[in-house]
Amino acid sequence: MSISQISSITRRATRTDDEPLNILTFPTHERYEQSLSRTNNNFYAYMSEGSKEWNTDYSPVPKNYHILDKNMGDNQLPLNVDLDLVLCHTYDQQLMISSQISNYLSIPLVILCHILPDIRTSPEQQTETIRICQSIQSDAHVFISDYNRRRWGRTAFDSHVIRHGLDTEFWCPKEDIEKEHHALSVVNYWASRDWCCGFNLWQKVIKDIPYKVAGDNPGMSTAARSLEELRSFYRSCKVFVNTSIHSPVPTTLVEAMSCGCAVVSTKNCMIPEVIEHGKNGFMSNDEEELKKYINMLLEDESLRESMGREARKTIVESHNLDRFTEDWNSLFNKVVEEMS
């Protein structure tokens, strides 16, 4: 047994419940991991060959999130840090590395699944992918929604659901901002991600409607320069439009609702768990209905304000950061204690 293995085992025996955990993870979803850092644990991001770099255009790196040196390869694990668990975000090479480190250090492995089976593959390939993922061993398997969990063939007996959480004090309305007469959408690389983000659908729906797009879309739009600027886009639009096809729930939709936007969205995946049609937003997969709802909200200030208030109320009650961090800390501590 190595010194690092003995050190990790010793730490589990001596660590107090109020002491921050040291969590090995990987840069994957900047805005989600920014929220995750609010658990006040310490995160150490492992950089494997070909792994995603943290994009500061999407979110600054939190102070308790430490990106390790990719140039050190297998030797990048911090020798001065006793790691408590591994948090893996994907089913690719990241999972293989996570499993190896978990076994080597005898620390728990938590797998967080953000995505859905890839609809670009055949039904047979999707079934095989689901079968393989069901066979993956971990100390906890976490999904971002009930819908997500069901699509991967998991149940409440063998997995957990932790819904998105965000800082509703930051993502909030501002009453004195004048609304601009357009429908806002926020998507990166929209045209190339049409299969999951619905670019072609949006083009049909938005025809003859005033619109604004924010996001890294060469030749079409640029990303917000900061989270504060993005927030100002949400606050100043009359309507927020989401046309996602194969995404459990876009973070931008939740942010827009938290900012009090009246939202119009496709009715896919987890979205019906967040939007109650006609109360805190409108949903449809029909082009003409989506267009009708957008125009209705652009012209009806009273309806727009009512839906915006209900949208924010939903996020404050069900997707707030306190609930999110409590759920994650409870799970983190549970898997560490069970390994002791």
The reported pLDDT for the residue numbered 8 is: 54
The reported pLDDT for the residue numbered 129 is: 83
E-assigned strand segments in the chain: 22-25, 42-45, 65-67, 85-88, 109-113, 140-143, 160-161, 180-186, 211-214, 237-242, 263-265, 282-283
Tens of each residue's pLDDT in the chain, 340 residues: 344 544 555 555 566 667 899 999 999 889 899 999 999 999 999 998 777 889 888 889 999 999 999 888 888 888 889 999 999 988 777 888 899 999 999 999 999 988 888 888 888 988 888 887 788 889 999 999 898 898 888 888 889 999 999 999 999 999 889 999 999 999 999 999 999 999 999 999 999 999 999 999 999 999 999 999 999 999 999 999 999 998 888 899 999 999 999 999 999 999 999 999 999 999 999 999 999 999 999 999 999 999 999 999 999 999 999 999 999 999 999 999 998 7
The reported pLDDT for the residue numbered 247 is: 83
Sign of CA dihedral 202, 207, 210, 216: positive
108 vs 74, 85, 100, 103, CA distance in Å?
19, 5, 11, 8
Is 329 buried (19+), middle (13-18) or exposed (0-12) by CB count in 10 A?
Answer: middle
- The answer to whether 86 and 66 are in contact (CB under 8 A) is no
The reported pLDDT for the residue numbered 134 is: 80
The reported pLDDT for the residue numbered 337 is: 93
Dihedral angle of Cα 151, 155, 156, 158, to the nearest 10 degrees: -120
Cα-atom radius of gyration of the chain, to the nearest Å? 21
The reported pLDDT for the residue numbered 167 is: 94
